[in-house]
Amino acid sequence: MDKMPNTIEPENVHILVADDEPAIRDILSQVLGKDEGYTVDTACDGTEAIDKIHKDYYDIVFVDLRMPGADGIEVVQELKRHSPDSEAVIITAYGTISIAVEAVRAGAYDFLTKPFHIEEVKLIAQKIIQMKSLKQENVYLRERIKEYSRRPSIIGKSEAMQEVFHLINSVANTDATVLIKGESGTGKELVAKEIHYNSRRANKPLVIVNCAAIPEELLESELFGHVKGAFTGATSSRVGKFEYAHGGTIFLDEIGDMSPRLQAKILRIIEEREFEPVGSVKTIKVDVRILAATNKDLELALQRGEFREDLFYRLNVVPIQLPPLRERTDDIPYLIRHFISIYNKKVGGAVEGFTPRAIELLQKYQWPGNVRELEHLVEQMIIIHQKGMIDVEHLPPRYRTIESIQQFELEALRLGHTINLNQVMNTIELNLIQSALKRAGGVKSKAAELLGLKRTTLIEKMRKYNIEAH
């Protein structure tokens, strides 16, 4: 939804005229239909009017107050009940205030007193259409506001993130190609969105393509589109993502996984902003801003000949490097607060926060999954504990250290507080297994030996704690 709705075309305005006098039906059909260009239908009594209202949608219904079958007020009531968006205009020979009040109370928009002037009829119809188009615009704007508020905010107080924000601000309003780098879960997609929504293209589409998730044969037609019959299975032609992103931004996620052949095609788009759909000789020109992201080391891929050098330099015009979470631990308390407010609302929890001790512990953790992992941890804690403060003892074993047991559980016992022995044992087991694996360089049989376990037992335990040997 990126196009402001146009004003309603006259032929798309459907009007019903319900009057038992043929002369009134004729004159209204003439004025509203032939002169104004609206689509007009007629009914010769109240019963027929109600019947038609049930079968079709009418934007406006002109209805005579006194008719055989159902009278005008009943028709209006039925219209508003069945189709609340429709508007009614009562036609009456008795232009009294009491009739007007009764009509409006029944839900009519206005009333016309016989004999009326044709200009009056036109004016009423125009007023109603204008009001409806304003309503539509209002709905559209509300949707846009909702879309805008769906934009996630990026949290980052650390110096490293402040630098990222500075870069985002300086490139957002240009058309420069940006390459966003960083480990998995560091917020690359979030940065791409931030750039798009702060650019002059914000009202145009942001098209996201995950180059790693789509098989190579499909990726080409996904990006560039194809014509009917271009390959087996291409039963109809299809518009590609680049064309769809026209005027807006395309975000090529995981670009490091793109095949050399597609890399060449992408290079041409970047240089010339044009391409041909699969199976077509017609060149399509597009106006798109290109953002790309990768968690791979592209410089290394260059050296290995897996990534085109020319493409790399075209993409790398403005590189934005997102630091891993373990290098910006100052952000952890702010991110926790941010995710608590999101997930309390989402899952109906009332968690107040994490204790300083829990935060301190989390700041020592390595965060292989970066911010995404922290987000999932907060969500999990809210689901499990629902309310109160999250303390060290609540954290899953992988976030805990053996030292923390001394600091926390031993201290708790000394003060006569309860602890969870099973959790403590898990923490010790997990930590010792990790240390052994590290010492054994990831060789499981060696680690098992260090731990005095059978290899199969170690593997079982690794599975239990979701540990991978590195």
Least CB distance to ligand ATP at residue 2 (A): 22
Which of ligand ATP, Mg ion, none does residue 154 bind (CB under 5 to 8 Å by kind)? ligand ATP
Residue 189 makes contact with Mg ion by CB under 5 A? yes
Q: Which of 181, 188, 226, 308 contacts ligand ATP by CB under 6 A? A: 188
- Give residue for tokens 């952000």: 331
Question: Rounded CA gap, 131 and 85, in Å?
Answer: 11
Tell me the per-residue interface mask from 151 to 170 with ligand ATP, x by CB under 6 A, - otherwise: -x-xxx--------------
Neighbouring-strand partners of residue 91: 64, 112
Q: Which is nearer to ligand ATP, 72 or 187 (CB)?
A: 187
Cβ proximity to Mg ion, 188 vs 226, nearer residue:
188
Task: Output 113 or 380, the one with its CB closest to ligand ATP.
Answer: 380
* Shortest Å, Cβ 178 to ligand ATP: 14
Instruction: Give CA–CA dist 70/257, Å, rounded.
Output: 70
Q: Which does 190 bind (CB under 5 to 8 A by kind): ligand ATP, Mg ion, none?
A: ligand ATP
By CB under 6 A, what part of segment 280-309 binds ligand ATP? 295
Tell me how far, at minimum, the Cβ of 187 lies from Mg ion, in Å: 8
Choose from ligand ATP, Mg ion, none: what does 186 bind? Cβ within 5-8 Å by kind: ligand ATP
Residue 98 CA to residue 92 CA, distance in Å, equals 12
Q: Which two tokens stand for residue 120?
A: 């009056």
Show the CA angle centred on residue 16, arms to residues 11 and 18, nearest 5°: 155
User: Which residue, among 179, 353, 355, has the nearest Cα to 258 in the 3D structure?
Assistant: 179
Q: Which of residues 352-391 bind ligand ATP (CB under 6 A)?
A: 371-372, 375
| Cβ closest to ligand ATP, residue 79 vs residue 335 | 335
Can you give the three-state secondary structure of 391-426, one letter per residue? Answer: CHHHCCHHHCCHHHHHHHHHHHHHCCCCCCHHHHHH
User: What is the distance of C-alpha 320 from the center of its chain?
Assistant: 23
- Packing angle, helices 356-364 and 331-347, rounded to 10: 110
In this structure, are strands 274-275 and 284-285 parallel, antiparallel, or unpaired?
Answer: antiparallel
Considering the complex, state which of residue 41 and residue 183 has its C-beta at the smaller distance from ligand ATP: 183
182 binds, among ligand ATP, Mg ion, none (CB under 5 to 8 A by kind): ligand ATP
Spatial distance between the Cα atoms of 14 and 86, rounded to a whole number of angstroms: 10
Residues that bind ligand ATP (CB under 6 A): 152, 154-156, 182, 184-190, 295, 335, 338, 371-372, 375
Residues that bind Mg ion (CB under 5 A): 188-189
